[in-house]
Structure 1
Amino acid sequence: MGAVQPVCKGCGQPIWSNYLRALGATWHPEHFICAGCGQIIQGSTFQVHQGAPYHSECYNRQIAPRCVYCHRPLVGEFLVDYWGQKFCREHEQQFPHCAYCGRLVPPQQQEPGAEAIRCSVCRSSAIEGSTEAKPLFSRVIRWMNSQGLMYNNLRLSLDLCGRAHLNDLLREGNIGHSLGATTSAMYTQNGRLIRTEINGIAVLQGLPAILFQGVTIHELGHVWLIVNGIHQLPSWAEEGFCELLSYRYYQETNTHEGRYHSLSKERNTDPIYGDGFRRMRALADRVGFPTLIETLRTTKRLPAF
């Protein structure tokens, strides 16, 4: 029995003269053509996309993904961020990260003199004044109420402030973290706490809307603890409780941004905010969130671990 005659994958006919092997098949040289331009591929260098051959130039022009920052074709190794954006590896060292979402911020997006590095996405939803803040503030208060957290008709005020003022508030001993503060005055007699008056909450100006809501909820968590006379929690429990509230809110939004901030809390390595959050989430999972709230409200302590 004679040798099996090779068949060209391009035309389906037997090959009686020169042929080439590529992509697991045999071809007439003139039938090994670029799927992009329809011209013959000569030489041994070509790209493959969905099983079809391309000239390298055609592949780069028509198929290769583009760097979101410099728009060059991404042919070799490249990086992909949480948001699915693809970019050249070298940009990771060239551009700073957005303070709020982790995206890279190329020079054309950077704001001269800004207090924080923000990408164009976060800047597009930034809460810069009371017009944008008031409806979101009302929304998160309603959400807190839906979670069983009431404020006994307390008039809650919100102050959007710059970084310097927020740092001053935190240095003065007010409760909070780097993006927000709960301002209050404590009154004592003979070394014993008589009452605590809440002045309001302060949130850093310019946060993207979803982060603004999460930070506001965290601070409202502090307010609820104060209103209910819960003063004896260790720092990890108080901050962990407030972080748990904002985490639950982010989860309920069911958005890409909400999941990003949820994941940031899950991965936070800080012993107070990160470990505290994880311990409080585990406690809430074990006893149930409503039981956690009711136990705190009635006993001023955490449920037994």
Structure 2
Amino acid sequence: MTSECDTCKLPIVGKSINALGKTYHPDHFVCGKCNKPITESPFHQRDGKPLCDADFTESCPKCAACNKPITDKIVTAMDKQWHENHFVCALCNGALLGQEFHQKEGKPICQICYRGKVADKCNGCGEPIETCATIALNAKWHPDCFKCKTCGKAISTTKFKVDSKGFPMCESC
């Protein structure tokens, strides 16, 4: 029994290629982009059309780290795409996939590096500030750490005093 070529609709006598649920003369199984016969196996497909290796690779997104095509798993983060093994901390090269991370100047930073090397430190407790900060006295403070040095109450108004060492004091102290 002869089959019919899906491209030219003529009978196929001899060798044939069965791909994508269709049958083709070997020279009629062509790349959906460059129209050259696909001779390599396995081939690629996109949107139901066969693609040669070169056109498939050219159409793949480029990795933000190495700028090479991503032909397998893609990690999308920070409006960029990455090879899975290239999505790493810019400071320690630790894997970030599935981890919380920060970004600084367009680069991903792991939590440990961010807290230890990047985050601003609170002028009150010295710990990293990871969310909101109170900015006063030319420094950054955790909101809970910006408190009166004398009585320890939080200073929540814009009016406060400054002691001789440059620390805040509430108006009542």
Deviation of the 1:116 alpha carbon: 1.9
| 2:118 aligned residue (111, 116, 119) | 116
Given the alignment, which residue of 83, 97, 105 partners 1:88?
A: 83
Deviation string, structure 1 residues 218-275 (Cα, Å, up to 9, x no partner)? xxxxxxxxxxxxxxxxxxxxxxxxxxxxxxxxxxxxxxxxxxxxxxxxxxxxxxxxxx
5+ residue gaps, structure 2, are 109-116, 134-141, 160-173
> Per-residue displacement from partner, 1:18-64 (whole Å, max 9, x unpaired)?
32211111101111111121111124232111111111111101x21
1-structure distance, mates of 2:35, 2:63? 27
Residue among 21, 36, 41 paired with 1:39: 36
- Taking a change above 3 Å as real, the CA distance of residues 55 and 169 of structure 1, as seen in their structure-2 partners, is same
Query: How does the TM-score come out when normalised to structure 1?
Result: 0.36
Which deviations, in whole Å up to 9, do the C-alpha atoms of 1:258-295 show, x marking residues without a partner? Answer: xxxxxxxxxxxxxxxxxxxxxxxxxxxxxxxxxxxxxx
What residue in structure 2 maps to residue 30 of structure 1? 27
1:129-168 aligned at under 5 Å gives the runs: 163-164=120-121, 166=122, 168=123
The residue that corresponds to 2:68 in the other structure is 72
Three-state SS of the structure 2 residue aligned to 1:58 is helix
Match of 1:259 in 2: none
Alignment of 1:271-282 (within 5 A): none
Output aligned runs, 1:1-305, within 5 Å.
3=1, 5-61=2-58, 63-81=59-77, 83=78, 85-93=80-88, 95-96=90-91, 100-101=102-103, 105=107, 116=118, 163-164=120-121, 166=122, 168-170=123-125, 178-179=129-130, 180=133, 181-182=142-143, 183-185=146-148, 198=156, 200=158
By how many angstroms is 1:103 displaced? 9.6
Change (3 A) 1:13 1:21: same
Structure with the largest fraction of helix: 1
CA deviation vs aligned residue, 1:52-93 (integer Å, no higher than 9, x gap): 1111111101x2121123221111233233x45320122234
Shift of 1:199: 5.9
Look up the SS of the partner of 1:170 in the other structure: coil
What's the RMSD between the two structures over aligned residues? 3.8
3-state DSSP of counterpart to 1:57: helix
- For these two proteins, the number of residue pairs brought into alignment is 133
Q: Is the 8 A contact 1:99 1:116 kept in 2?
A: no
Q: Residues 76, 197 of structure 1: CA spacing in aligned structure 2 closer, same or farther, 3 A cutoff?
A: closer
Q: Secondary structure at the match of 2:147?
A: strand
Question: TM-score w.r.t. structure 2 length?
Answer: 0.59
Distance 2:154 2:42 in 1: 75
Q: For 2:155 and 2:72, how far apart are their aligned partners in 1?
A: 60
What is the deviation of 1:12? 2.0
Task: Give the AA of the match of 2:60.
Answer: A
Normalized per residue, which structure has more strand?
2
In the aligned structure 1, how far is the partner of 2:19 from the partner of 2:4?
Answer: 13
Q: Residue deviations 1:109-133, cap 9 Å, x none?
A: xxxxxx628xxxxxxxxxxxxxxxx
